[in-house]
A = this chain, B = another copy of it.
Amino acid sequence: MSEGTTRDRMIEAAIKLVNEKGYKGATTKMIAERAGVNEVTLFRHFGSKKGLVEAAIDKYSFVDHVSETLETKVMWDINKDLPMLVKEYQELLEQKREIILISLKEAGAFPELDRMIARVPETYKKKLMDYFDQMMQQGKIRRTDAEILATNFIFLNFGYFLLKSRLHSVAEDMSVDDFIHQNIASFIHSII
């Protein structure tokens, strides 16, 4: 059933189900079923349920290519850079949605995961601060506190992501492009 190696399918199913039902709610039986695999196979591969979920977390750990992006794709044009950065960041959040939501749900249960997730906005913030600083020095945006700009940018992005993906209300039918062309445009307008 499904594609990928047995191992991959089990990991995939684990991530999905833990996200849907929580760690306790996702039973090994269900995971095995969704992976199209006998339940014993789980234990033969990973020893325990915890081992399985940790392996899953491990596999989905962030390869932090955000820093890279910020160093290579930046064109020093605020009207191109910020939309690009939003796209990259939202794509990252989207790709890792399950693991992020797991970390929200199971806060404290997997310390390694917590640290991993926390690192993302932190490095992102640092890089953003550098970017804004540079832009100020080049006279391309108004002089102001780069740290505040960076955190505001992150709050906007994160608020949008969560309100959209979890609390289907305000941002329900607002696409990433809408978000960029409306909300981020407004943000850009305010800093030049």
Contact = CB atoms under 8 A, between A and B. Distances in A.
Interface in A7-56: 20, 22-25
16 contacts: A22-B23, A22-B24, A23-B25, A104-B167, A105-B105, A117-B169, A118-B167, A120-B169, A122-B169, A148-B182, A151-B182, A151-B183, A152-B183, A152-B186, A155-B183, A187-B190
Interface residues of A, number: 48
How many identical subunits does the complex contain?
A: 2
A75 interface: no
Interface in A87-121: 103-108, 114, 117-121
Nearest to A170: B121
Interface in A148-192: 148-149, 151-152, 154-160, 162-163, 166-171, 174, 182-183, 186-187, 189-191
